[in-house]
Amino acid sequence: MREVQPIPTSIMLLKEDLHQIARVAEWADKMGYNCPKRFARPFTSFFGERLQTSLYSIRLRIIKLDN
């Protein structure tokens, strides 16, 4: 199991690996969590937004910028 990354770095990590992270489970794995729920709880507590909502909005924003 990988070392769990700090929650504040999750957005940066997502942006760096956006083409390889399409689902919450993949993002959680990249952050070092073996369960998406264990990643979702501290993420929501820190950012005040659901994990899936953040994933979709960030992906859409970056896709729009690429076009």
Number of H helices, E strands in the chain: 4, 0
Read off the pLDDT of each residue in 5-9 and give the average, rounded to a whole number: 95
- Say what the pLDDT of residue 36 is: 95
Report which of 67, 48, 59 is spatially closest to residue 26, judged by C-alpha positions.
59
pTM: 0.88
For 11-61, how does the pLDDT look when each residue is reduced to its tens digit (9 = 90+)? 999 999 988 999 999 999 999 999 999 999 999 999 999 999 999 999 999
Amino acid at 21: I
**pLDDT-derived band at 2, boundaries 50, 70, 90:** confident
Is residue 40 within 8 Å of residue 27, measured between CB atoms?
A: no
Residue 67 has pLDDT above 80, yes or no: no
Cα separation, 44 vs 38, in Å, equals 11
Q: Is the dihedral of CA 45, 46, 52, 57 positive or negative?
A: positive
